[in-house]
Chains A and B, each alone.
Chain A
Amino acid sequence: MTTLIRPETSDLELVQRAKAGELDAFEALTSRHEGRVYSLAMRMLRQEQDAEDVTQQTFLSALEGLQSFRGEASFATWLLRIASHAALKVIRKRKGLDLVSLEEATEPSDHSETIPHPEFIADWRQSPEKLVQTREIQRLLDEALARLDEKHRLVFLLRDVEGLSVKETAETLGLSEANTKVRLLRARLQLREQLTKTLGDPATQLVRSHPHEQ
């Protein structure tokens, strides 16, 4: 009665089969996405036990709420949003902010802040494709990410690392889209600055002063 699950079987088909009661289909979905969910939880929480709890909770919630998944977003996005909510709960608990939203908890004056100017400007010595294969690069990426404010880090993780849209990121974090965009820009600029300090080729360093900027 059960049809084979192949690597090319789509998530959507697996969801339909799981909804119809096929456990194997749900387990296959779990296997496909558990690494990504755990990685997101680790990056958000930076603590293994909490990340494990959030991972387990995410898939239990997914199992419970499977019938409510309508396929407006991809299954992966749906899962990542469940995981983010679970991780945010942990973050709020850590801060003792159970009743306060993340937006209220951080200063809402983001709009008026000026955008930091790029300081170290230089071409990178290697392409991202090469860099990603090197051993030390993950540590560098993690350290740079850890140095960001939480409010900037969360937006960057959901939007740029996980590929959620600005709208989805804003909804997940309980922020306005405008605020999400400002935070994203700051995160991108700060990470660029930090990575370029290490990965930039000093021989190509540029100074920002040119004719059409008086």
Chain B
Amino acid sequence: MKCEELLAMLNEYVDGTVDPAICEEFEKHMAGCNPCQVVVDNIRKTITLYKAGQPYELPVKLRERLHEVLREKWKEKHKAG
């Protein structure tokens, strides 16, 4: 396996959906190729980092309004039904 081939299979490897035979080749390549190893590690960390953060806090006013609108809608719907 060459670096390009590894790059093309990166999604499947990182997501754990790669065919076992290819996975073996993938790991064999990585064992002898430090840059590929680091790239795979970087990508895993990138995904972990994005998953971990929830940067936008729900504005309190939006929350209040949202629940109010939903309660009204709910009553309307359940009265009609």
Query: Does A131 sit at the interface, judged by CB under 8 A?
Result: yes
Contact B50 A141 (CB under 8 A): yes
Q: How far is the CB of B6 from chain A (nearest CB, A)?
A: 10
Contact partners of A156 in chain B: CB under 8 A: 50
Q: How many contacting A-B pairs (Cβ < 8 A)?
A: 133
Q: How far is the CA of A138 from the CA of B54 in the complex (A)?
A: 9
Query: Which residues from B are CB-within-8-Å of A137?
Result: 49, 53
Q: How far is the CA of A23 from the CA of B58 in the complex (A)?
A: 21
Q: By the criterion CB–CB under 8 Å, are A185 and B74 in contact?
A: no
CA distance A82 to B9 in the complex (A): 31
- Cβ-defined contact, A38 with B2, below 8 A: no
Interfacial chain A residues near B62, Cβ < 8 Å = 38, 52, 55-56
Question: Which A residues from 1 to 35 make CB contacts under 8 A with B?
Answer: 21, 23, 26-27, 30, 34-35
**In contact, B51 and A188 (Cβ under 8 angstroms):** no
Q: Is the CB of B66 within 8 A of A196?
A: no
Tell yes or no: A36 within 8 A of B by CB: yes
The secondary structure that dominates the A interface is helix
Residue-wise, chain A 124-148 has the 8 Å CB interface mask toward B (1 for contact) of 1001110110000110011001000
Question: Contact: A124 with B74, CB < 8 Å?
Answer: no
A124 and B45 CA atoms in complex are apart in Å by 9
Q: How far is the CA of A37 from the CA of B45 in the complex (A)?
A: 24
> In the complex, what residues of B have CB within 8 A of residue A212's CB?
2, 32-33
6 A-B pairs closest in CB distance = A128-B48, A42-B56, A128-B49, A138-B55, A132-B52, A39-B56
15 further contact pairs, Cβ within 8 A, besides A27-B71, A60-B73, A129-B52: A30-B67, A30-B70, A43-B56, A52-B62, A118-B7, A127-B45, A128-B48, A128-B49, A132-B49, A137-B53, A142-B55, A188-B10, A191-B46, A206-B35, A213-B2
Pairs across A and B, CB under 8 Å, 28 listed:
A35-B54, A35-B58, A36-B54, A38-B56, A38-B58, A39-B55, A42-B56, A48-B59, A56-B62, A56-B65, A63-B77, A121-B35, A122-B38, A123-B41, A127-B45, A132-B49, A160-B47, A160-B50, A181-B11, A184-B11, A185-B11, A188-B10, A188-B14, A189-B10, A192-B43, A206-B38, A210-B32, A213-B2
